[in-house]
Structure 1
Amino acid sequence: MSAMTASGSKPLTSRQPHNIPLPPSPEKPTSHHNSKKRKTGKEKKEESNTPPQHRVGDEWDHSIAGTQTWQWASLTDSSVGKHPPIFTKDGSYFFAFVGSSIKIHSCATGRVVSTLTSRPDGSQSVMNADSSDVITSAILNPKNPYQLITGSLEGYIRIWDFLDASLLQTISIEQPIFNLCAHENFPDYVFVAVAKRTEKLNSNGRGKEANGVVLRVSLKPRSAATGHKVQTSSEITSIGKTRAVVGLSFSPSGGWLVAVAGHKAYVAPTSSFKTGFTKFVSPEALTCLAFHPSEDYFATGDDKGNIRLWYCLNEQVAAHAVGVEKRAQTTTLHWHAHAVSSIAFTPNGAYLLSGGEESVLVVWQLHTGKKEFVPRVGASINAIAVAKGGQSEEYLLGLADATFAFVSAATLKISRSYSRIKLDPEASHRDLFTFSSAPLAVHSSTATLILPSSHSSSLQIYAPSTSTLISELEVSPTNRVSRRDEAPIESSRVECAITSSSGEWMATIDSREGDEAFRGEVYLKIWCWNTRTGFWILNTRINRPHGLERVTSVAFSPEVKDRLALQLVTTGGDKAVKIWRLRTTTAKTGDVEESWVARSTLGFRSELPRHASWSPDGSLLCITMGSCVNLYDSASNVLRRVLTSPNCKAPTSAQFVGRSGRYLAVVSVWDIVLWDLPAQSVRWHLKNPWPIDKILCHPRDDTFALLHSPSISPRLKHHTTPIALFRPLSSLPYKKCTVPFGFLNVAWHPTSWSASPLGVSSFSLVGITNKYSVVLFGDDISAPAAEGSRANAIVGGATLGQRQTLFQDIFGASAFIHPSPIPKVDSNSMSVDMSRASNDTAALDAPAYLMPPIESLFAPLMDSFLKPRSKHQETHNVRGNEQQGEDIEMAGQSDDELVIIGERRERVVDQKEMDMFVELFQQTKVSSNQTAVSKVHEVVPQVNGKHHTAPSNSEVNGVKRHIPTPQPSPGVPAKDIHASSLTPNDKKTQKRRRPSESS
């Protein structure tokens, strides 16, 4: 290795690096073999075919003892379930199925209130997508709406009590279950669709056809057991053979069982299962099924975007020859350009909902054929469900990016949506090396993560401390059409996102590949953080910062006192290094505007720059280009050092180690070289047994981590990333770890290293895996437990299914169901007075014979409890006393004079008071029925020639007059006094009433 300096009598530009004298090479440790021994041709050939070997003293291997699995936790769900969500009977909660777990969400808040899992210890595997026990179907128990029945790929039928969050029963049929249904006409039975693989190739000859069978399974086990203990069913009966079933359902009346698979709809009458299925042919492959809620016909969607209504459920179905396929009368609805993912009828049966890849919800009016649209829902629609309870009808959409969106049936607009971290729907179908990186940044001001969103042109801001998605930033406005015909449309993609150390600025790189009809685009966009609104605002857009070539590296300079001295460096495929600075301009209105402009451009021997980094104090700029690493003065752009090494001929990146920046770690694919910059010498060199992917330096301590390229573990059959932690003093790693996934990008956790004590090198990292999952890993994982991540009993679950009463519609919710919380007194406003009083009363804890006389303690003790009135209050009291003699009714203090001692407590309604109200309403109802009988016409005198209605004892012209009450005549009973004073019309009305009403 060599270090070349630019100091001397001649300027740096007049001396070539190969003419600068080399410093003495560092001493190498002795090796057990002779390095000068000449190798024969055979030995050279064998050496070239073997992986690089390092010195004996530095040899290490992750396969030997000492390697441990690093702690890690996932921030995202493992997969997105395509089963439609299921609502509870009252519509307060809905069930979402993710891997082997059941998440119970609140419809009002969207939060997960409970998570049901089949694991006995309650733990959940983060990689549930790789688990074979994936829940594929679920229904509410027709006999008990508080129970949920699920089926999984492991062949387990489980019955859950979701109110108590307990597993009641587990039945195994030892075949993978893909669909499940039940009906109240068949108690203690469920009907499941299972699949079996055969060696027969399909029509295209590209794979194996999947055959299935529909079974009737009894829920009565052979032996009595509950909970996690697996049981076997007492009866399993085959209904008929099918292809791979994509939909299985009963008709509302329970008279028909329908399954759709391949190009056929299989129909079986429930009155005679022995006859098997009748097959009705569809011209296209079917994808989903839905039954009309009241009539005997069903709807299907296919892979060409067609929706068909099938009218084939009649008595002629049973009379058929075995193996004969029929054509049915159908009605076709077509709008979708691609496959229909899900369909659902509204509860009244007047509308049909459909959705698919177009990200548009289509509402069909069946009797007219007209349609309405809810466009741009955010992502492809996987599932549709209709909320049957609640005050108003809503549609729930399960999107491909793990978002749930509620659509109001009245306005056909998205009323609310809930998501944790939006997933990339194409991640599961993407190859490991499709993209080499993904945008990932940490915003220090808000301790949030900036992650790639479900669409490649957007970013999402996520807060790991609260496990909530803050917002989404559309970096490149894009028309999010799915695809044109069968060829996908290439959209803009955010390649990189970095933030400044102060958190005020963010730089992004988004690009779009060109084709025959479109030129490629590359944009450098710099965003400013608005602390008032809490959003990123676009400040500067630079078109093609490095021409048509891609940008290879972007880095902000460290935080400086003068914010205008902040710099941004970019390197590109045009072999140029560009430095950008902040410029301020004053408009005519006096407003100061800030923007970013190019400051300077660098180059070195037409070498391609690969990576750029800054020293911790911002004085040096390190550029990795070609076969060397160049150090520039950040203020003058003068080349200070050129570092080269024969052992590291093609460096890929270089990073300053530690807060002082004394060491520089230079990394290539197989080698790592640690430079001591003040000594201008190499500290040590090491060859690695695995290719090096990334280097990550600790932001405070003199340690760094090497992340190697992922390899496939033969035992675990998944990608494993070896990680080695180093200190500058030794080339041997002081810690070796592995994590069971590969990485696209890695960054420091927002609150990890700042909270660790001094002298402790704790690594806590966040990364994006090759499947676009977000994980935390390292020594100290402090990921907050997500709300509802464990099985919890649903509070107030006994009220599920109870509709609101008429009394509650008029007067609101009952105080017994939703008690009003008692307001708390502000502790801050009373803390000073209470602390003063507590200190004074503490003096009374001494023995009586040691205390002074009570006369000397009374005055100061009372002063600590009682607050004297202010002069302003005394003035108002004097004015109130003066007005007391003028107006008796206005005596006392006015509203301004009231002194509020504390907040008024809410009165608690008890049962006695409720009984009084019930009795009052009963008496009011009885009295209203007897109004005509008990009505008494009072004689009202004339006042000023006009009749006025007045009470019995009224005042006329200032003189009180008493209207006497009619007295009973001799011989007339007292109970008939009202009847004697009735008008002739009232007497007729009384005669028509029944004796029970007039009594």
Structure 2
Amino acid sequence: MITGGKSYVSSPPAFSNDGKRLLVCTGNTISIFSTSTGLQIATLEGHTAAVTSVIVVPGSKILCYCWTASLDGTIRYWDFSVPELMKKVNVKLPVFSMVIPSLLSQPALSNEKPTDLFAYLSLENTKEQNSMPKPLRGQIRKCNLTASRLIGGLILKETPQPEFISVSSSGKFFGIRNKRKLHIWMVPAKDSGHLVAKKITLHHTKNLTVLAFHPTKRIVAAGDVTGRILVWRGFGYRLLSISDGLVSGRSVNKEEERPGVRGNDDAESCSTWHWHSVEVNVLSFSSDGAYLYSGGKEGVLVVWQLDTGKKKFLPRIGSPLLYYIDSPDPTLSSISCADNQIHILKMPSMEILKSISGIKLPNSLPGIYEGGGFAFDYSTGFIALRTENYSVQFYSLFDDCGIDEVQVCERSHQPADEITVLVTLVAISQDGSMMSTVEVKQPEEGIGGLVCLKFWVLGSENKKFSLSTVIYEPHRDAGISSVAFHPTRHVAVTSSYGGDFKIWACNDEIQQKGRMIQNSGWTCLAVGSYKKKPMTAATFSSDGSVLAVAAETVITLWDPKKNVLVAVIGETFSPIVTLSFAGKSEFLVSVSQGSKPQLSVWSMSKLSLCWSYKLHIEAVACTMDLLSFAVLALLPESATRVESSEPKFHERDGVILVFNVMDPVPVATWSVRKAKGGGLAFLRGNLSSLEQNISDGNAPQEFLAYINGNHEYVLFDPYGNEANDLSITRREGLVELEETGKFGYSSIYGELPELKLKRNQTLSIQSAPSERPWETIFSGSSHNLPPLTRLCSAFLESLMEKRTAVVE
């Protein structure tokens, strides 16, 4: 089974101490990327729920350790250069955020006796609190990582929801935002289990969204929901100890006015900056404290000069900003964006060096445009997805990485909530050489709406799509309900809610005087309609000889070459939204949605209904050769409200059903989560990508791909005994680290010669050793060496005298 599509921006990432690697929280794992190439090089696996925090232990650039926290209630300690799990701490409560201040305050090398290591956690109280009028589910608690236990009975703060914890780079302070308040704690100089951090509270008139601490001074900045940034200077001099070694501000004993400070807050002054039009999501001080970085929904990184308030910008990032992270290497930093991208920046010029692109996250569209969000390339295993920035992203499901992005409509990112342009449909030809998109410009006050149909062609050399033809208002002022390509020719069909369908052909399909036209533009060949009913879906048969078009509640069958109506079949109670031919087109699968949803299978030889189910179907996928198909069905709400003692449908809202077209009894079923807005497709096995991961070479001919409403996906063999038996993972195919720096084993014992293996060869010691096996027996990367039990036996055999047996 292959899984992927996780979010890279659910939590802040972390740089390694040498700045050459970036550790990213990716679902239940931590993905490690090279900052020089932007490619994934390793994965830390072990957590059973989403990872929420990753903290790299500062110090040596050679030894690489990190702490991670997860919603599974565990904290883990890793050596990520191997990678290997070193320690596990079970706190038994979901961890939403974690900071370890003493790692930042302690010097990297010290002769002092090591003390216990303490972490401050933001936990969710999972105990029943329904009886309380306002349940407090968030807790700030202290954990002794050395002793692997929470400090019993010590709760620093309770909040309505778990909050993100921010820590100063000196390790002296940490804090959270809580509605219109900032709670700031000062960590004891020599922390221990019985010591309680001192706390102060700063107030504001609006809800706060994010906070950041100055690296050397007692300055804290916070952003609010209106786009304002507040900067408190000299906080905590009255209530918190001043013996912290920080640069002192003004005298705390001097009685004077405190401009901008509300009430009796413990701060010397508070100033306000305002540039952002909406809430501030990103705040971070530069390592020297001279600048403050801010960002939000505008997709612009703002750099404020702390002393003067002057600012400069990194504009046109193209997506709302979520996190800004500094690197130990002063020439690098990273920005995490809401479109599931992480940009590596060159500082101080703020030039984007590399981008780590995950699968684009779903965007909200009006109900009439919810469908058509996916298009699959059967042969390559690519998926095309609509994005919020008016683009189509091509993503490899086998490799779990972005391939390309096509800008459908040239428009800058707009932070306004009102969406004026929508990419509503995407379709790809069966050979992957053609693409069609539909974009809709929303009318303003009922005026100015526009529908645009575009055809794209794949370049033979650069393998990128380029625009071929633009058709404005292809169906007058009516919207387009579906787009489908002919299986063997450069021909497409569009159906319209206005009551007609049109057949389009690329000019290279039209011959004039016995020669082909070189221009690849598209032209309308034919127009059809049926009783002026809205045409809601269309598809071609597998050989292209039949065109099926849904006229609301009936199915019309056409000869696409002659544009002649052949037959009319079916009568459903709700409009048909999906049509698919199964197998060699002997059967047709239709899906109706509305008040009376229905899944129906029709016989093309008898022109009659074979069988049907009253199911709400979200997606349909038909195999290319076999007489089978799969559907993604939404479960009724009553079916999902089951007790936890019945894990089959616990927290699952959909099922995948595989049918033989002639049998209404499903061949196989799987329950799934987040089925609303999901998709299905049968894909040909990408042997070039999977060859190195399948030892026996028996790869399935077709995979069934399921992508859920959050764009997380899984590929599995639907005909296997169990989907989980498919032993395919991406971890074996990760790229090698390209930096020349030494770390781990090689930094201590020196570089070992590379052991060159063929693609399908496994790393093992042969039973018949060579003449001088000791020269290569320990060759290879340290984390790939076989176990000692294997190495020793082969090594000892190589030292024994060999005798040749003579048979008389």
TM over 0.5: yes
Indicate if the aligned counterparts of 1:245 and 1:259 stay in contact, CA closer than 8 A: no
Which residue identity does 2:77 align to in structure 1? I
Q: 2:4 aligned with 1:87, yes or no?
A: no
Alpha-carbon distance, 1:170 to partner? 0.7
- What is the CA–CA distance in structure 1 between the aligned matches of 2:280 and 2:216, rounded to whole Å? 23
- What is the CA–CA distance in structure 1 between the aligned matches of 2:680 and 2:196, rounded to whole Å? 60
Q: SS where residue 238 of structure 2 aligns?
A: helix
Indicate if the aligned counterparts of 2:22 and 2:32 stay in contact, CA closer than 8 A: yes
Alpha-carbon distance, 1:516 to partner? 0.8
Q: SS where residue 507 of structure 2 aligns?
A: strand
Q: Measured at CA, do residues 517 and 366 of structure 1 come closer, stay the same or move farther in structure 2, by a change above 3 Å?
A: farther
Q: 2:201 aligned with 1:279, yes or no?
A: yes
Alignment of 1:544-943 (within 5 A): 544-560=473-489, 566-583=490-507, 592-644=518-570, 653-659=578-584, 661-665=585-589, 668=592, 669-670=597-598, 672-677=600-605, 680=606, 682=608, 685-712=610-637, 713=640, 714=642, 715-728=649-662, 730-742=663-675, 743-751=677-685, 764-777=703-716, 778-779=718-719, 785-787=729-731, 799=743
Q: Measured at CA, do residues 701 and 159 of structure 1 come closer, stay the same or move farther in structure 2, by a change above 3 Å?
A: closer
Match of 1:159 among 77, 84, 95: 77
Alpha-carbon distance, 1:656 to partner? 3.6
Match of 2:52 among 128, 133, 136: 136
Indicate if the aligned counterparts of 1:423 and 1:453 stay in contact, CA closer than 8 A: no
Q: 2:306 aligned with 1:366, yes or no?
A: yes
Alpha-carbon distance, 1:710 to partner? 4.2
Q: 2:472 aligned with 1:540, yes or no?
A: no
Q: SS where residue 372 of structure 2 aligns?
A: coil
Q: Measured at CA, do residues 491 and 448 of structure 1 come closer, stay the same or move farther in structure 2, by a change above 3 Å?
A: farther
Q: Deviations over 1:41-61 (max 9, x none)?
A: xxxxxxxxxxxxxxxxxxxxx
- What is the CA–CA distance in structure 2 between the aligned matches of 1:693 and 1:325, rounded to whole Å? 55
- What is the CA–CA distance in structure 2 between the aligned matches of 1:706 and 1:248, rounded to whole Å? 43
Moved more, 500-509 or 188-197: 188-197
Gaps of 5+ in 2: 107-114, 190-194, 242-251, 253-262, 643-648, 691-698, 758-808
Match of 1:262 among 172, 179, 187: 179
Which residue identity does 1:150 align to in structure 2? T
Between structure 1 and structure 2, the one with the greater Rg is 1
Aligned residues: 686
Q: SS where residue 519 of structure 2 aligns?
A: strand
Q: Measured at CA, do residues 747 and 287 of structure 1 come closer, stay the same or move farther in structure 2, by a change above 3 Å?
A: same
- What is the CA–CA distance in structure 2 between the aligned matches of 1:695 and 1:240, rounded to whole Å? 49
Residue in 1 aligned with 2:231?
309
Alpha-carbon distance, 1:506 to partner? 1.6
Q: Deviations over 1:976-996 (max 9, x none)?
A: xxxxxxxxxxxxxxxxxxxxx
Which residue identity does 2:391 align to in structure 1? S
- What is the CA–CA distance in structure 2 between the aligned matches of 1:453 and 1:83, rounded to whole Å? 24
- What is the CA–CA distance in structure 1 between the aligned matches of 2:756 and 2:590, rounded to whole Å? 62
Indicate if the aligned counterparts of 2:96 and 2:162 stay in contact, CA closer than 8 A: no
Which residue identity does 1:103 align to in structure 2? S
Residue in 2 aligned with 1:217?
143
Alpha-carbon distance, 1:593 to partner? 2.2
Q: SS where residue 532 of structure 2 aligns?
A: coil
Indicate if the aligned counterparts of 1:91 and 1:107 stay in contact, CA closer than 8 A: yes
Alpha-carbon distance, 1:481 to partner? 0.8
- What is the CA–CA distance in structure 2 between the aligned matches of 1:312 and 1:717, rounded to whole Å? 49
Residue in 1 aligned with 2:68?
150
Residue in 1 aligned with 2:32?
104
Indicate if the aligned counterparts of 1:524 and 1:543 stay in contact, CA closer than 8 A: yes
Q: 2:275 aligned with 1:335, yes or no?
A: yes
Indicate if the aligned counterparts of 2:81 and 2:743 stay in contact, CA closer than 8 A: no
The share of aligned pairs that are identical, in percent, is 23
Q: Measured at CA, do residues 493 and 448 of structure 1 come closer, stay the same or move farther in structure 2, by a change above 3 Å?
A: farther
Gaps of 5+ in 1: 1-71, 125-132, 222-230, 561-565, 803-813, 825-999
Alpha-carbon distance, 1:177 to partner? 5.0
Q: SS where residue 594 of structure 1 aligns?
A: coil
Match of 1:522 among 447, 451, 466: 451
Residue in 2 aligned with 1:919?
none
Alpha-carbon distance, 1:547 to partner? 2.1
Indicate if the aligned counterparts of 2:679 and 2:706 stay in contact, CA closer than 8 A: yes
Alpha-carbon distance, 1:496 to partner? 1.9
Indicate if the aligned counterparts of 1:111 and 1:787 stay in contact, CA closer than 8 A: no
Match of 1:404 among 342, 360, 379: 342
Indicate if the aligned counterparts of 1:629 and 1:643 stay in contact, CA closer than 8 A: yes
Q: Measured at CA, do residues 749 and 818 of structure 1 come closer, stay the same or move farther in structure 2, by a change above 3 Å?
A: same
Which residue identity does 2:143 align to in structure 1? V
Alpha-carbon distance, 1:98 to partner? 2.9
Alpha-carbon distance, 1:699 to partner? 1.5
Which residue identity does 1:746 align to in structure 2? L
Q: Measured at CA, do residues 189 and 740 of structure 1 come closer, stay the same or move farther in structure 2, by a change above 3 Å?
A: closer
Q: Deviations over 1:163-217 (max 9, x none)?
A: 342131314274755342322467522233445599999xxx9x94647554443
Which residue identity does 1:551 align to in structure 2? I
Match of 2:218 among 296, 320, 323: 296
Match of 2:4 among 75, 95, 100: 75
- What is the CA–CA distance in structure 1 between the aligned matches of 2:136 and 2:186, rounded to whole Å? 25
Q: SS where residue 316 of structure 1 aligns?
A: coil
Indicate if the aligned counterparts of 1:217 and 1:236 stay in contact, CA closer than 8 A: no
Alpha-carbon distance, 1:435 to partner? 5.3
Which residue identity does 1:396 align to in structure 2? S
Alpha-carbon distance, 1:385 to partner? 0.6
Which residue identity does 1:574 align to in structure 2? G
Indicate if the aligned counterparts of 1:450 and 1:459 stay in contact, CA closer than 8 A: no
Which residue identity does 2:43 align to in structure 1? T
- What is the CA–CA distance in structure 2 between the aligned matches of 1:477 and 1:505, rounded to whole Å? 20
Indicate if the aligned counterparts of 2:69 and 2:75 stay in contact, CA closer than 8 A: yes
- What is the CA–CA distance in structure 1 between the aligned matches of 2:586 and 2:159, rounded to whole Å? 70
Q: Measured at CA, do residues 818 and 723 of structure 1 come closer, stay the same or move farther in structure 2, by a change above 3 Å?
A: same
- What is the CA–CA distance in structure 2 between the aligned matches of 1:367 and 1:548, rounded to whole Å? 56
Q: Measured at CA, do residues 586 and 330 of structure 1 come closer, stay the same or move farther in structure 2, by a change above 3 Å?
A: farther
Q: SS where residue 475 of structure 2 aligns?
A: strand
Q: Measured at CA, do residues 628 and 161 of structure 1 come closer, stay the same or move farther in structure 2, by a change above 3 Å?
A: closer
Indicate if the aligned counterparts of 1:217 and 1:237 stay in contact, CA closer than 8 A: no
Q: 2:457 aligned with 1:457, yes or no?
A: no
Moved more, 403-412 or 715-724: 715-724
Q: SS where residue 317 of structure 1 aligns?
A: coil
Which residue identity does 1:180 align to in structure 2? V
Match of 1:497 among 420, 426, 432: 426
- What is the CA–CA distance in structure 2 between the aligned matches of 1:240 and 1:639, rounded to whole Å? 72
Q: Measured at CA, do residues 146 and 773 of structure 1 come closer, stay the same or move farther in structure 2, by a change above 3 Å?
A: closer
Alpha-carbon distance, 1:469 to partner? 1.4
- What is the CA–CA distance in structure 2 between the aligned matches of 1:769 and 1:717, rounded to whole Å? 14
Residue in 1 aligned with 2:411?
478
Higher relative contact order (CA closer than 8 Å, sequence separation 6+):
1
- What is the CA–CA distance in structure 2 between the aligned matches of 1:415 and 1:286, rounded to whole Å? 32
Alpha-carbon distance, 1:154 to partner? 5.1
Q: TM-score, normalised by structure 1?
A: 0.61
Q: TM-score, normalised by structure 2?
A: 0.74
- What is the CA–CA distance in structure 2 between the aligned matches of 1:801 and 1:110, rounded to whole Å? 24
Q: Measured at CA, do residues 189 and 665 of structure 1 come closer, stay the same or move farther in structure 2, by a change above 3 Å?
A: closer
Alpha-carbon distance, 1:555 to partner? 1.8
Q: 2:120 aligned with 1:191, yes or no?
A: yes
Q: SS where residue 55 of structure 2 aligns?
A: strand
Indicate if the aligned counterparts of 2:8 and 2:358 stay in contact, CA closer than 8 A: no
Q: Measured at CA, do residues 369 and 600 of structure 1 come closer, stay the same or move farther in structure 2, by a change above 3 Å?
A: same
Which residue identity does 2:626 align to in structure 1? D
Indicate if the aligned counterparts of 2:223 and 2:279 stay in contact, CA closer than 8 A: yes
Which residue identity does 1:337 align to in structure 2? S
Which residue identity does 1:330 align to in structure 2? C
Q: SS where residue 277 of structure 1 aligns?
A: strand
Q: 2:324 aligned with 1:384, yes or no?
A: yes
